[in-house]
Amino acid sequence: MAVGIGAGGAVGVGLEVLPPPVQTTPATATTGGSILAGTYRLAVTALNAQGETTISNELTQVTTGSASTITVNWTAVTGATGYKIYRSAAGGGAGTELFVAQVGVVVTYVDTGTPTPAGAIPTVNTATRQGVYVLPSKFIPIDSESLQYQQATVWRRPIRKTAEILGGIAGNANVAGDLVLDATEDVVLYFLIAARTACVKTGTSPNFTYTFTPTALATPVKTLSIAVERNGMAFGYVGCIVSSISFRIEDGALKLTASIVGNDEAAQSALTGIVWPTVQPFGMGQYSIEIPTGTPVLDTDSFEFGVEDNAEPQFRLKNTGQGAQFVAFGERSTTLSVERDFEARTEYDAFKTLTSKSVSMKAIRGVNNSIQIDTPAAIVDTYELGLSGQGDLIRGAVKYNGVVDGTGKSYQIIVKTQEDIPI
């Protein structure tokens, strides 16, 4: 008997980029080159038509004499059109490798010491492959999902002595739906990377900080492959981006709703190798709301932040299926809602005069485990007040619209986590 719907469900996501190569043990020779004696760090990246991955694992190699060579080895990356090799100076630290050479579709390179290394390692994976299915690298527990393959069949009703539909022909198709889940710091990264944002990653293992700011780009920088297993049957979706995202505190838990728009469906076998996250969700006692930023308030009991980028699938004439060619973003709206005790007219008067202020919400479980949402210039759009009965508290339901600040952004999200994504 098949497993039940709930017990047979799983969702996994993966960034649609080339993975960095995996470097294997290097070798050295004492003749044939010009590399001096020392200990060198080595790294390799993969290339495709769109760009270059971040570096492979770093390995060290010791040379002797003054005429050595180093043979660098790595495993092939599916979809790569070439590779770049990097080497540090003698005694160089982690991340100090410099560019040595670019090669084609091979898995070994003999570094003779010529030319002199120059050019830093990449810090961002630009080797995207949007719409090419990748296996999940992260499995996520969810509350619900509604992803679907939307197919706009064209029903034929020509005039030919019948009132019936004669048949259908394939129309445009794309992927759309929502994912609802706990907003933990290790999971939200994937959806923010696939949104209309720019991401800056700082820090070193095991603690990293990802800073997301909105961009004006018409198309996404990174896309997701999403795998869903429903009652033992697997489905795969490609070219997925986040059209809108919503954070809210619901019964004390921080929740995330990500609205997905994607290119097409892809073949996906049953999910295997599932490893579930162990990061705990945020709960009561772990939130700080500041209105304005820097001024914590203790009179709110609800919070919701949303970004709507109005993404739409773009259909083009082609001979490679009926899915969307890509997805484009539209106009952006940034909104924030809180409900507060109404004790003074200060906030209400600011609403009437369209005064902007910064608002910040921090979910903090530890120094290196947090999600911070900032709206640096928020203007109150709606302020609701009302009397409902004797002895009731007077509450203010406040809805803000985010506008751009002096740096051109309407929001910023900072995530601190141990999740290491080669963005």
Q: Domain ranges for the chain, please list them.
A: 18-111, 138-417
Compute the mean pLDDT over every residue in the chain, rounded to the nearest whole number: 94
The position carrying tokens 């999403």 is 226
User: Residue 251 carries which side chain, given as an amino acid letter?
Assistant: D
Could you tell me if 48 and 77 are in contact, meaning their C-beta atoms sit under 8 angstroms apart? no
User: Is residue 79 classed as helix, strand or coil in its secondary structure?
Assistant: coil
Separation of CA 236 from chain center: 18
Report CA-CA distances (Å) from 19 to 80, 86, 246, 252: 9, 17, 29, 37
Q: Residue 2: which pLDDT band, with cuts at 50, 70 and 90? A: low
pLDDT of amino acid 264: 96
Does the pTM surpass 0.85? The reply is yes
pLDDT per residue over 198-229, tens digit each?
Answer: 999 999 889 999 999 999 999 999 999 999 99
Cβ-Cβ contacts under 8 Å for 166 (sequence gap 6 or more): 156, 157, 158, 160
Where does the pLDDT of residue 388 fall: very low under 50, low under 70, confident under 90, or very high at 90 and above? confident
User: Could you tell me if 9 and 231 are in contact, meaning their C-beta atoms sit under 8 angstroms apart?
Assistant: yes
Which amino acid is located at 377 in the chain?
A: A
Q: What is the pLDDT of residue 8?
A: 80
Identify the weakest region by mean pLDDT among 1-10, 36-45, 405-414. Answer: 1-10
Could you tell me what percent of the chain has a pLDDT over 70? 99
Amino acid identity of residue 97, one-letter, is E
Contacts of residue 361, Cβ cutoff 8 Å, sequence gap at least 6: 247, 287, 288, 289, 290, 303, 305, 372, 373
Secondary structure of residue 187 in the 3-state scheme: coil
Residue 423 has a pLDDT of: 83
pLDDT in tens, 70-106: 999 999 999 999 999 999 999 999 999 999 999 999 9
